[in-house]
Amino acid sequence: MEALNDAGEEYGVHIAVGDRVALARALAVVPVGTLTATQVAAALATRRLRPPPAGYAAAVVAKAKSFGTADTLQDVLLAYRQHAIDALSAEFGGKTRGREESLRNNLRTYLTSHAHVEARTGRGQTDIYIQELDALIEVKVWTDRSTYDGGVEELARYIHTSRPAVAFMVVFGDRVPLPAIAASHREPIAEILGLEGLQVPVIVVPFEVDAPSKALRRGRSRSRSGR
């Protein structure tokens, strides 16, 4: 999507969002390293779009390859996970219930500033949609397995209706007790769900119940006192 957008601005090619999404999906099945201008032109012809100016298809390929080393959305979400544990444990550790909206807004703000895309609220109460990446992110707070399973069903419905290119689920909880879907607080991806034809990583953010800095001070205090 970014390659199509950037090349379009450079060559004055204006393609409707729906067609851009369809083109991005068609081209995404081709490894970036082997993508050619001929394949881009063929994808445009399949959509029955107006032939673009000379050089446009080659520009799409060049820009797609230049993005090959950029962080993926999953990379950004995993970086957010560590940021949230470090920066938000004092505020949310042991106090996540009923705070889905605050956590969703925090993640949305982080994505907007770190992924250089516009992340906006989707149709549900806790989902985030990034149009430029055609990506859906469902945000949940862990309470129990049944609530989690309900969130998975809700996400599956969103995917069925919206047909995003990629989807993720971000689950906030505590390190102790750890959400049951996570084998260890050190494993950022608890599981990968197969939903409506998509592989959906589930990223668990386990807050420290005591803020890391407070826990460290207590540990030092115990060491000095010999306890």
Q: Which SS3 state, helix, strand or coil, does residue 91 take?
A: helix
Residue 115 pLDDT: 57
pLDDT of residue 104: 93
pLDDT value, residue 30: 76
User: Strands 198-207, 166-174: parallel, antiparallel or unpaired by DSSP?
Assistant: parallel
Residue ranges covered by each domain of the chain = 2-69, 73-212
pLDDT attached to residue 168 = 95
**Antiparallel, parallel or unpaired: β 127-130 and 135-141:** antiparallel
Q: What pLDDT shows up at residue 215?
A: 45
pLDDT of 126 reads 56
Tokens for 20? 């851009």
- Amino acid (1-letter code) at residue 128: I
**Per-residue pLDDT at 73:** 86
Question: Do residues 76 and 115 make contact, with C-beta atoms less than 8 angstroms apart?
Answer: yes
The structure tokens 């550790």 sit at: 93
Q: What pLDDT score does 33 carry?
A: 74
Bridge-based pairing of strands 198-207 and 127-130 is unpaired
Q: The pTM is what?
A: 0.65
Q: pLDDT below 70 — which residues of the chain?
A: 67-71, 115-126, 211-227
Q: Which residues of 190-221 are buried (b: 16+ CB within 10 A; e: fewer)?
A: beebebbebebbbbbbbbbbbbeeeeeeeeee
